[in-house]
Structure 1
């Protein structure tokens, strides 16, 4: 009989097959008669015995349709920027906005650079760069990549 694998417990190797007769059949690792692993959505040929599937083989040329049933998980954000480098730049050269240029925030980098020319502007950019330093250090790598991973 032909059927489709509905699910597989990868730890135990047990799973379920939906037969073409509309019934479900359970299987264990010893029932899988083919080299390789059973995959969700794979079309298989098997011998039914009560509610059990025996001698399970994949249908030749069949590919798992699991990718059609379940969309791919979203990718994790990545960035080539390093949050430690950004924090060090913010701490040592922050009043000039160098860390902002490094992270691709050119607009706010220019604002910090222009503000630093005046004494009052420097009073603004010093705490601004300290806040940025602390923020980069406490931010998780994932959040940092999500926020500054535009490259």
Structure 2
């Protein structure tokens, strides 16, 4: 069967393929039969067994899409102390939220800061974030903000 790679989880342990039959199939890294490995958007040919894609190959002649996240090369970890310091010194502008990848709440803090009442709200919000980051366990912090 043919299909397209939809994605691979952050740890690279499992991924999904949308088959040409409209069904979705899961796979693991060991299911790949070529050296290239999974790439999001790649056109692939595979066999199916109980909802699992097996013996997966890239379709020859298709354009090579952007590679999926490489599990051997993890994303850079965010520093807990840096986030806390940003929250303390620049927190009313939401800089710590942008740093941690929480763009929506960062924009909300930035917009709130434009009003007099909002400055008070974002001051308290950033102080709570500052304290929360410092007392949070390192593993929990990296799990949340990876």
TM-score normalised by length of structure 2? 0.48
TM-score normalised by length of structure 1? 0.47
Larger Rg belongs to: 1
